Structure 1
């Protein structure tokens, strides 16, 4: 994913299969007070990421995230406006 596609509050999947699959919610993007570097804080909501919190650089998150997803009933699906869903 590109950095421009990332939006606070949205859910993203790493696109993996089996035990390594995960979904994270991008909770916030903050700038470090000392360095000014941006950091992403995320919450794991499904799969291997479930019930975990973490932070990383925007570039690391964009590399991990393969597509934006939405929860439809009890299943995570690619978001309709995600170009990879076409």
Structure 2
């Protein structure tokens, strides 16, 4: 994904299959006080990322994120697969 597509509060999947699949929520974008570089903070919400928190560079997050996703009932769906913004569940 491009950096322009990534937004705080939204959910992203790595697009993997099986045990390596994961969903992360982009929790915050901040500036590292020591280096002055931008840092992306995320929360893992499903799959291999579940219950994990972390941070990385914007490029690393964009490289990991393959799709924006939304939770519909009990299933994560790609937003570009016809999911309307009204159906998104953002906590």
Instruction: Give the TM-score taking structure 2 as reference length.
Output: 0.87
Structure 1 residue ranges, 4+ long, deviating more than 6 angstroms after superposition: none
Partner of 2:58: 58
Instruction: Give the TM-score taking structure 1 as reference length.
Output: 0.92
Matches within 5 A, 1:1-86: 1-79=1-79, 82=80, 85=81
How big is the shift at 1:61? 0.2
Which residues of structure 2 form unaligned runs of 5+?
83-91
Residues in 2 aligned to 1:5 and 1:77: alpha-carbon distance in whole angstroms? 17
What is the CA RMSD across the aligned residues, in angstroms? 1.0
Aligned length, in residue pairs: 82
